[in-house]
Amino acid sequence: MYDITIIGAGIIGCAIARELAKYNLKICLIEKNEDVGAEATKANSGIVHGGYAEKPGSIKAKFSSKGNSMYQQLNAELNFGFVQTGSFVIGFDEKDATKINELFAYGQKNGVPNLQIVDGNFVRDKEPNLNKDINIALYCPTAGITSPYEFAIALAENAIQNGVELKLNSKVTAIQKSHDHFIVTTNQESLTTKIVINTAGLYADEIAKMVGAVEFTIKPRQGQYLVFDKDQGDLINSVIFQVPTAISKGILVTKTYHGNLLIGPDATPAPAKDYLDTASQNISEIIEAAKKSFPDFDLQKVITAFAGNRAAATTEDFIIEESKIKGFINVAGIESPGLTAAPAIATYVSEIVAATKQVKLSPKINFNPYRKAYHAIANMQEQELNNLIKQDVKYGCVVCRCETVSEGEICDALHRNIPINSLDAIKRRTRAGMGRCQSGFCTPKIMEIIHNELQIPKEKITKKGGKSLFVFGRTK
Amino acid sequence: MKSYDIIVIGGGPAGMAAALAAHKNQVKNILIIERDQELGGILNQCIHNGFGVHHFKKELTGPEYSDLVALELQKTNIEVMTDSMVLKLGDDKTVHVINGKLGLIKIKAKAIILAMGCRERTRGAIRIHGARPAGVYTAGTVQRLINIDGYMPGKKVVILGSGDIGLIMARRMTLEGAKVEAVLEILPYSNGLTRNIVQCLNDFSIPLMLSHTITKIHGKERVEGVSITKVDANLCPIKITEQFIPCDTVLLSVGLIPENEISRAYGIIIDRKTSGPVVGELRQTSKEGIFSCGNVLHVHDLVDFVSEEGDLAGFGAAQYIHNNLSPDFTHTTIPGEGISIVVPQKINAQNVTDKVKLFMRAKKVYTNCIINAYIGDKLVAHKKENKFLPAEMVYLTIKKEDLFNNANAEIVIKIEPVK
């Protein structure tokens, strides 16, 4: 019997798993996909928000600035990538100024440190390539950028290091309450657990429904984005928002953690939870809107477009509570700023777990908070790199030329404690295939490496699990 | 630090030709750096024939062409470093190169020849929307999977773009048992060589749908089909013409982009039209001692021209090593009416032996026209063809004396109707 079963290994599930791994508990983390962080976690802005945009008193407000303050320490332990770049909400006219003042007041109430209202010159000084007509801005020095999927991967790897069991490709099909415990059935097995934590993101309502803990519905909200090559990312230093609308934080323009330019998202109701198509109409509108912040990006440098669906709950706020079913905890409706709030939510969930009295939270003496970083040769100094290549020649063999990723990094990804074998999973860990050629050159090479390292026939290698196969068999 | 007279970056046809030419012109110390495990570049996966008609006066396959050149290289003392990736050019012409054997090392060169080739334009770059399943490939990737690795990446294929690689792959996939449903081309004419349209599509009854494009890709895991439409004169999709074609593979042949990341980082001036360095008559770039040739300079349609350009760059680099290269430029070439690109963009008449060849492409299809090159009012070269196609590179030859006899520094090239 498990003490805790967490359903859904997105950023929230992974953060909770890693937090609870600090205690002597038998924990299982269940994920239906072939990798962690493979849904909303991999397709968002990657912004660690300041915490000024949420209405004071809301659950979102309670966790976002607190979550932000935890990133520095977590990154030092887990090496997933975080930089405090600061953010601007830019304004052009009186109406914008009113909204910016309102956000400033929100920020004060939410305890966001060092917020400032600044003039156009201040903005231009920090961001010389933005629209010259910017008059006013809200400057939030604590905001930053992260790599959200790498954060989830790092959390999960560290959770596993500390005893959590991760079950991939496991889709929960039923949950039964049986007096003091639950029976969770997946497409792979049946397991028993004292506590269930529902972090199923877009599907949290369906999971809750299985046990009769439905108190909300998830209405997926889609956001589309456009990613540009790094020479465009070099033109921006921080996160640039326009004043928010009723449903979104406003079209943003940002450098990503790895240096690309990212613009988006829009916010439209998604026709289905797994509908992730991009559309030219949406992308055109995003381009037009983004030009208002940053007029001169080069559309010839577009690398790709993507869409992500946010798990917005009908309650319009985060739901983090033990449901009416004793021992069944819902952590749902975690839309933006869920990534920012994740670390704070995880700590709070451990308090909820303790409060259930179903399990005892005694600290694990040998908890290891550190997760090994990848040896990313693209960012290495000569001496360090040469020492590494002396130990393992594979670090001298460049596989992905656009992002300078070596065979050593890819092998590292394949042999860590999360068993992966898809190209997208490798891409999220190493960036191989993330660059301007979009894996045109490295796909055959990476297939070869997977085949050699894991003895998987090439006919079974996938882009992202399931039937996303690359090849159908041998030539004649 | 190890040093060479000339380091050639890239061991494809351009780099090999450049190294050989420099060697013939008495340069002693030459190194070719190649990222793949053998020389030849993309030729190694081009197992079809049609290479070498101009250069070797016979029809060869890609690997045969490459082998012939590599054989010549073996007879020389030109050094070759394979499985090695150049990461950047450092100050004072140091080449930063990495491989498993030596690690990251710096090698010094007196002259550098850039011959890194090009990459394929991707789905993201041309913004085809819809879902993001497996099965969307660039033509070159499919060519590699089939011809080198021996795997079939699809059974039912729609090809977007009628560039040569797309046409070649339509035939190749058909021969391997796949069904190519159609080749779509957004323009009203094909961007491939005529011979490829005949031999790769017509001979296999594969429909070429001009003025058509893919508007949406369908499929969650693997491609399940594409929505296609006709486009209007502005290349905008006409919604009511939309139809669905079931397929498991989308193959893109939508253009090539010279890979100049290293060049840009070194501060070499790039021509926005060619996406390659601005070069002179001997393929010298804006940075002294750095030369460029082949598809990294501008995208060629025939490897024969790539070799020719390699020769020129190798000769130029040798002149530079021997202090025989006159710096600065006397003339600029200007693509005028109807011309999209001209290479070289600059000329120094002092360095021209007896004539200079200008390579160019037409912006669109022109019939019954003539390409004229003027210096001031004077017509210095012309070429008449029944048809000028953007897909087929054209060249004009200007005599050295015409450069000297005209004080005007601009050479304007235009397409004009035959009078």
Name the band, by pLDDT with cuts 50, 70 and 90, for residue B194.
Answer: confident
Q: Is residue A474 part of a domain?
A: no
CATH no. for B1-120+256-325: 3.50.50.60
Distance from CA of B170 to the nearest CA of A (A): 15
The reply to whether A387 and A453 lie within a common domain is yes
Distance from CA of A277 to the nearest CA of B (A): 4
pLDDT of residue A467: 96
The reply to whether A127 and A227 lie within a common domain is yes
**Could B176 and A390 be called an inter-chain contact, meaning their C-beta atoms sit closer than 8 Å?**
no
Q: Is residue A470 part of a domain?
A: no
Residue B36 has pLDDT above 70, yes or no: yes
- Chain A residues with CB under 8 Å of B154 CB are 472
Residue B191 has pLDDT above 90, yes or no: no
Domain end (from A356, A373, A390): A373
Residue A11 has pLDDT above 70, yes or no: yes
Q: Is residue A342 part of a domain?
A: yes
- The 10s digit of each residue's pLDDT in A179-188 is 899 999 999 9
The CATH number given to whatever domain includes residue A284 is 3.30.9.10
pLDDT of residue A444: 97
Mean pLDDT of B60-81: 97
**Could B132 and A306 be called an inter-chain contact, meaning their C-beta atoms sit closer than 8 Å?**
yes
Is residue B230 within 8 angstroms of chain A, CB to CB? no
pLDDT of residue B192: 86
Share of chain A above pLDDT 90, in %: 97
Among B35, B122, B146, beta carbon nearest to A440: B122
pLDDT of residue A215: 82
The reply to whether A155 and A21 lie within a common domain is yes
**Could A440 and B119 be called an inter-chain contact, meaning their C-beta atoms sit closer than 8 Å?**
yes
- A375 given a catalytic annotation: no
Mean pLDDT of A123-148: 97
pLDDT of residue B406: 75
pLDDT of residue B163: 87
Closest residue in B to A401 (Cα) is: B85
**Could B216 and A437 be called an inter-chain contact, meaning their C-beta atoms sit closer than 8 Å?**
no
Residue A406 has pLDDT above 70, yes or no: yes
The CATH number given to whatever domain includes residue A446 is 1.10.10
Among B35, B123, B154, beta carbon nearest to A438: B123
pLDDT of residue B350: 93
Q: Is residue A325 part of a domain?
A: yes
- Chain A residues with CB under 8 Å of B221 CB are 462-468
Q: Which residue among A49, A181, A258, A375 is the active-site one?
A: A49
pLDDT of residue A249: 64
**Could B134 and A458 be called an inter-chain contact, meaning their C-beta atoms sit closer than 8 Å?**
no
Name the band, by pLDDT with cuts 50, 70 and 90, for residue A247.
Answer: low
- The 10s digit of each residue's pLDDT in A298-309 is 999 999 999 999
The reply to whether A403 and A278 lie within a common domain is no
Q: Is residue A120 part of a domain?
A: yes
Among B99, B150, B215, beta carbon nearest to A396: B99
Among B131, B150, B221, beta carbon nearest to A474: B150
The CATH number given to whatever domain includes residue A17 is 3.50.50.60
Q: Which one of A39, A301, A438, A439 would you mutate to disrupt binding with B, by most B Cβ within 10 Å of its Cβ? A: A438
- Chain B residues with CB under 8 Å of A458 CB are 149, 151
CA–CA separation, A125 vs B413, rounded Å?
45
**Which residue range is the domain that position A323 belongs to?**
1-82+145-217+314-373
- The 10s digit of each residue's pLDDT in A71-120 is 999 999 999 999 999 999 999 999 999 999 999 999 999 999 999 999 99
Q: Does domain B122-254 have CATH number 3.40.50.1820?
A: no
Is residue B177 within 8 angstroms of chain A, CB to CB? yes
pLDDT of residue B401: 92
Q: Which one of B81, B82, B104 would you mutate to disrupt binding with A, by most A Cβ within 10 Å of its Cβ? A: B104
Residue at A291: amino acid letter: K
pLDDT of residue A248: 63
Q: Is residue A476 part of a domain?
A: no
In SS3 terms, chain B reads as CEEEEEEEECCCHHHHHHHHHHHHCCCCCEEEECCCCCCCHHHHHCCCEEECCCCCCCCEEHHHHHHHHHHHHHCCCCEEECCCEEEEEECCCEEEEEECCCEEEEEEEEEEEECCCEEECCCCCCCCCECCCECEEEHHHHHHHHHHHCECCCCEEEEECCCHHHHHHHHHHHHCCCEEEEEEECCCCCCCCHHHHHHHHHHHCCCEEECEEEEEEECCCECCEEEEEEECCCCCECHHHCEEEECCEEEECCCEEECCHHHHHCCCCECCCCCCECCCCCCECCCCCEEECHHHCCCCCCHHHHHHHHHHHHHHHHHHHCCCCCCCCCEEEEECCCEEEEECCEECHHHCCCEEEEEEEECCCEEEEEEEEEECCEEEEEEEEEEECCCCCEEEEEEHHHHHCCCCCEEEEEEEECC
**Could A476 and B124 be called an inter-chain contact, meaning their C-beta atoms sit closer than 8 Å?**
no
Distances (CA, A) of A147 to A68, A76, B294: 14, 14, 38
Distance from CA of A141 to the nearest CA of B (A): 31
**Could A437 and B119 be called an inter-chain contact, meaning their C-beta atoms sit closer than 8 Å?**
yes
pLDDT of residue B202: 96
Is residue B198 within 8 angstroms of chain A, CB to CB? no
CA–CA separation, A420 vs A409, rounded Å?
14
Using DSSP's 3-state secondary structure scheme, residue A158 falls into helix
Closest residue in A to B136 (Cα) is: A470
Residue A62 has pLDDT above 90, yes or no: yes
Name the band, by pLDDT with cuts 50, 70 and 90, for residue A372.
Answer: very high
Domain tally, chain A: 3
Residue A246 has pLDDT above 80, yes or no: no
Name the band, by pLDDT with cuts 50, 70 and 90, for residue A476.
Answer: confident
Q: Which one of B1, B97, B119 would you mutate to disrupt binding with A, by most A Cβ within 10 Å of its Cβ? A: B119
More confident call, B302 vs B407: B302
Name the band, by pLDDT with cuts 50, 70 and 90, for residue A250.
Answer: confident
Residue A404 has pLDDT above 70, yes or no: yes
Q: Which one of B98, B216, B218 would you mutate to disrupt binding with A, by most A Cβ within 10 Å of its Cβ? A: B98
Q: Which one of B99, B127, B157, B270 would you mutate to disrupt binding with A, by most A Cβ within 10 Å of its Cβ? A: B127
Domain end (from A305, A330, A357): A305
ipTM of this predicted structure = 0.95
Is residue B265 within 8 angstroms of chain A, CB to CB? no
- The 10s digit of each residue's pLDDT in A192-234 is 999 999 999 999 999 999 999 888 999 999 999 999 999 999 9
Q: Is residue A468 part of a domain?
A: no
Distance from CA of A303 to the nearest CA of B (A): 5
Of B388, B50, B93, B52, whose CA–CA distance to B262 is shortest?
A: B93
Q: Is residue A469 part of a domain?
A: no
**Could A231 and B264 be called an inter-chain contact, meaning their C-beta atoms sit closer than 8 Å?**
yes
**Could B151 and A471 be called an inter-chain contact, meaning their C-beta atoms sit closer than 8 Å?**
yes
**Could A385 and B104 be called an inter-chain contact, meaning their C-beta atoms sit closer than 8 Å?**
yes
- Chain B residues with CB under 8 Å of A397 CB are 83, 99-100
- Chain A residues with CB under 8 Å of B135 CB are 470
The reply to whether A405 and A454 lie within a common domain is yes
- The 10s digit of each residue's pLDDT in B341-394 is 999 999 999 999 999 999 999 999 999 999 999 999 899 999 999 999 998 899
Stretch 267-326 of chain B: residues touching chain A, C-beta under 8 Å: none
> Domain limits of chain B?
1-120+256-325, 122-254, 328-419
CA–CA separation, A309 vs A304, rounded Å?
17
pLDDT of residue A33: 97
Closest residue in B to A387 (Cα) is: B103
Q: What is the mean pLDDT of chain B?
A: 96
The reply to whether A119 and A248 lie within a common domain is yes
The reply to whether A66 and A157 lie within a common domain is yes
* Interface size between A and B, measured as CB pairs under 8 A: 141
CATH topology match: B1-120+256-325 vs B122-254: yes
The reply to whether A392 and A443 lie within a common domain is yes
Among B123, B129, B141, beta carbon nearest to A277: B129
Among B85, B221, B222, beta carbon nearest to A401: B85
Domain end (from A373, A398, A419): A373
The reply to whether A245 and A280 lie within a common domain is yes
Mean pLDDT of B77-86: 98
**Could A438 and B35 be called an inter-chain contact, meaning their C-beta atoms sit closer than 8 Å?**
no
**Could B177 and A476 be called an inter-chain contact, meaning their C-beta atoms sit closer than 8 Å?**
yes
Query: pTM, whole model, 2 decimals?
Result: 0.96
Among A231, A397, A443, beta carbon nearest to B141: A443
